[in-house]
Amino acid sequence: MTATIYHNPDCGTSRNALALIRHAGVEPTVIEYLKTPSSREQLVMPIDEAMLKPREALREKGTPFAELGLDAPGITDDTLIDAMLKHPILINRPFVVTTLGTRLCRPSEVVLDILPPVTRPFAKEDGEVVIDANGKGGL
């Protein structure tokens, strides 16, 4: 299986999704999207494949969302995409693309939808159990 994660190492959700991917035995391509800005096509592709609207892929907290007026009525999808390209911190994370699909992995365990079955125990970095000792859990 191939996998790509659009990752922000400063984000706990992104770190947990990456750890779950590796726990499933998959070594993904890791794209630190804040260091390696996407082209318009590279940004739109995972949003479309995850069946989201650009507004659903926007991050508000800790970003220039409000200063840019992106909450104003009538803002077009193209305007939102342009803002995300100019300010990648506006892109919600992590997006994960595998041969089984594409998801915005918030919460991180959403990634289990697009990975091979995982039955070994796994806990997030804060200790929250995602898969217990009996192989139960997930979404």
- Would you say 20 and 36 are in contact if contact means Cβ atoms under 8 Å apart? no
105 is catalytic: no
3-state secondary structure 60-118: CCCCCCCCCCCCCCCCCHHHHHHHHHHCHHHECCCEEEECCEEEECCCHHHHHHHCCCC
Q: Decide: residue 93, CB within 10 A, 0-12 exposed, 13-18 middle, 19+ buried.
A: buried
State the catalytic residue, choosing from 11, 50, 91, 131. Answer: 11
Catalytic positions, written as ranges: 11
